[in-house]
């Protein structure tokens, strides 16, 4: 697929067209928060899927509504939903536990652990296949199901059992892999927002992530970002320091934050292994600005000229939408699809 010097359109017949997808989360509908129930959750999931499909998203997500807890909205259940259900982990956190956790410099942005590891980790009562099956009933077509990576989960825990971070990471990976093997969806995506700030842990993180990816039966993706809390980046770093780590992953494609990043990050991605497709972040979720179709097309074109359009398998937002208002998220989703179509000459 070649991009013309005059910008777009390129010739869409020369390669498989770039697909659109979302990263995962969607703003919780107010009516679900007000009257939460199983029926309301299913209805809300149907709305999230339909909103994306009507906007032109090829591979939508369920909005990660399966994690919704009116009593714990922080981080959209990215951590607590998983660790509070795994066996061997105690959600009760005492004063001494908090003090011990705060001595861990790498987790300075958390004031206390999500939970404490008291014994061997098991699947416990976590049931991701059931969560995935609920979404499948109202998906209306192919969809992507997301879960948090073992490395990120391990980083949020106080370990009083293994006393070995690598062992803790793999124990969580084993529990998640057993669940991932039974997920019935078009694509499974692992989410990781901690390793970008700790590239020296690449081998440990890759071992756990690959354990889960190897169990997946469909397409395999990994999402990486530098964090988003209140519109703030919470991890420093650059993609150049992570290339060796990224190339070690058994993923079909990566889903990377790039719209809110310096343009030099694209240069580093030239070194990405050709067997791994690139998911290109072209929508900035840390701002309320609604990108135009032309802005989206320009961002795709800039990446295509640096790394080759054939390397771009997906375009998507930088991260999930859960912190934005629905009115903002919906218009950004529409712009994403329109920008891809403009680039493709449709």
For the chain, domain boundaries: 19-344
Class for domain 19-344, per CATH?
Answer: alpha beta
Confidence bin at 234 (pLDDT 50/70/90): low
Beta-carbon contacts of 337 under 8 Å, excluding residues fewer than 6 positions away, are: 20, 55, 56, 57
Neighbour count for residue 341 (Cβ, 10 Å) = 19
Q: Is the pLDDT of residue 74 over 70?
A: no
For the chain, the average pLDDT equals 90
Report how far residue 262's alpha carbon sits from residue 299's, in angstroms, rounded to the nearest whole number: 12
pLDDT of residue 235: 56
Q: Is the pLDDT of residue 113 over 80?
A: yes
Q: Is the pLDDT of residue 284 over 80?
A: yes
Digit-coded pLDDT (tens) for 293-334 = 999 999 999 999 999 999 999 999 999 998 899 999 999 999
Classified as helix, coil or strand, 181 is coil
pLDDT of residue 231: 55
Digit-coded pLDDT (tens) for 25-34 = 999 999 998 9
Please give the model's pTM, rounded to 2 decimal places: 0.91
pLDDT of residue 229: 58
Q: Is the pLDDT of residue 156 over 60?
A: yes
Q: 47 and 329 in contact (C-beta within 8 Å)?
A: no
Longest Cα–Cα distance in the chain: 63
pLDDT of residue 263: 79
Q: Is the pLDDT of residue 20 over 50?
A: yes
Q: Is the pLDDT of residue 158 over 60?
A: yes
């Amino acid at each position: 697929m070649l991009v013309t010097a005059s910008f777009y359109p390129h010739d869409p017949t020369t390669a498989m067209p770039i697909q659109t997808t979302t990263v995962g989360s969607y703003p919780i509908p107010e009516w679900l928060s007000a009257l939460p129930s199983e029926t309301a959750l299913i209805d809300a999931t149907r709305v999230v899927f339909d909103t994306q499909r009507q906007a032109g998203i090829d591979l939508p997500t369920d909005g990660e509504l399966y994690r919704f807890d009116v009593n714990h909205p922080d981080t959209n259940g990215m951590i607590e939903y998983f660790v509070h259900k795994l066996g061997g982990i105690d959600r009760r956190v005492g004063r001494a536990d908090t003090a011990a956790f705060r001595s861990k410099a790498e987790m300075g942005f958390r004031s206390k652990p999500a939970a404490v590891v008291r014994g061997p980790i098991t699947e416990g009562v976590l049931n991701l296949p059931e969560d995935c099956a609920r979404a499948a009933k109202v998906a209306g077509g192919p969809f992507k199901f997301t879960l948090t990576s073992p490395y990120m989960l391990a980083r949020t825990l106080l370990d009083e059992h293994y006393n070995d971070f690598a062992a803790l990471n793999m124990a969580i990976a084993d529990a998640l892999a057993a669940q991932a093997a039974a997920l019935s969806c078009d694509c499974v995506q692992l989410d990781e927002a901690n390793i970008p700030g700790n590239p020296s842990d690449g081998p440990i993180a890759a071992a756990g992530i690959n354990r889960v990816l190897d169990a997946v039966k469909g397409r395999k993706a990994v999402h990486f970002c530098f964090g988003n809390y209140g519109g703030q980046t919470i991890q420093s770093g650059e993609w150049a320091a992570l290339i060796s780590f990224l190339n070690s992953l058994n993923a079909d494609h990566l889903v990377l934050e790039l719209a809110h990043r310096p343009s030099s990050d694209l240069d580093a991605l030239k070194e990405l292994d050709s067997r791994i497709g690139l998911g290109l972040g072209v929508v900035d979720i840390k701002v309320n600005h609604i990108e135009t179709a032309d802005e989206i097309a320009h961002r795709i074109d800039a990446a295509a000229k640096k790394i080759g359009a054939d390397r771009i398998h997906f375009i998507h937002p930088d991260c999930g939408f859960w912190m934005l208002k629905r009115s903002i998220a919906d218009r950004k989703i529409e712009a994403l699809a329109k920008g891809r179509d403009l680039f493709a000459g449709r």
